[in-house]
Structure 1
Amino acid sequence: MSTIAIRVDDELKEKATELYKELGLDMSTAVKLFLTQSVKTRSIPFEIKDSSADDLLNKRLTDLIMENAETVKTIDLDNSD
C-alpha cells in the first residue's frame, strides 16, 4: 500500500471532510474512489467547467442578439379573420 500526501487549502479540506462525512466516507476513501474511477475511465471522472466563462459568453451572445434584433411589436398567429 502507498501513501499520497497532498497540500490543499484549510477551508477546502474542512468543507470536503464535512461533505464526505455526510456521505458516510472519510477523506482517504473519497480519494481512493476518485483514483479508482479515473483509472477505470482513463479520464477525470467529472466535467471540469468554468461557469464564469459560460456566463460571460451567454451575456455577450445575448447582447449581440439584442443589438442586431429587429423590434417586433405584434405577431398575429390567429388566422381566423
Structure 2
Amino acid sequence: MANDKKATHLTVRIDPELKKAATAVVNELGMDLNTAITIFLTQMVRDRGLPFTPTTLPIETRLALREADLSERLRTYRTTDEMWRDLDD
C-alpha cells in the first residue's frame, strides 16, 4: 500500500562526525538516518516526551545503577572479612 501522506523537510545542523557515527549505528540496524529520526519523533509524540531520560550522571554512575538493578547477580557477604577474602582471590 502506498503512503499517500505528504512529506515535509526538516533541516538540522549537527556535527559531521556525529552524523557519520549515527549513520553507522542505524545502518547496522538496517535502516537509514531518516527512518531513525522518524522513529524517534513518532515515539516522542506517542509518549508526549523524550523517548529516553536525559541525565547529567557520568557513565560510570549510570552503569553502577544499572548493575544495582540486577541485584540478583550481585554477590553478597555476611562479613567484611568474607568480602576481603573473596576480593583477594
TM over 0.5: yes
State the percentage of identical aligned residues: 39
Question: Among residues 9, 14, 17, which one is paired with 1:3 in the alignment?
Answer: 9
What's the CA shift for 1:51? 2.2
Structure 2 SS opposite 1:39:
helix
Matched, 1:36 2:37: no
State the one-letter code of the partner of 2:49.
Answer: S
Partner of 2:20: 14
Unaligned stretches of 5+ residues in structure 2: 1-6, 62-79, 82-89
What's the CA shift for 1:28? 0.3
Q: RMSD across aligned C-alpha pairs, in angstroms?
A: 2.0
Q: Distance in 2 between matches of 1:37 and 1:17?
A: 19
What's the CA shift for 1:6? 0.2
Please show how residues 35-74 of structure 1 align to structure 2 within 5 Å: 35-52=41-58
Instruction: Describe the superposition over 1:37-79 as per-residue Cα deviations: whole angstroms up to 9, x where unpaired.
Output: 0000100001111123x85xxxxxxxxxxxxxxxxxx89xxxx
Matched, 1:27 2:58: no
**Which is greater in Rg?**
1
Q: Provide the TM-score with structure 2 as the length reference.
A: 0.57
Q: How many residues align?
A: 56
Larger RCO: Structure 1 or Structure 2 (Cα < 8 Å, ≥ 6 residues apart)? 1
Unaligned stretches of 5+ residues in structure 1: 56-73, 76-81
State the one-letter code of the partner of 2:40.
Answer: F
Q: Distance in 2 between matches of 1:11 and 1:51?
A: 24
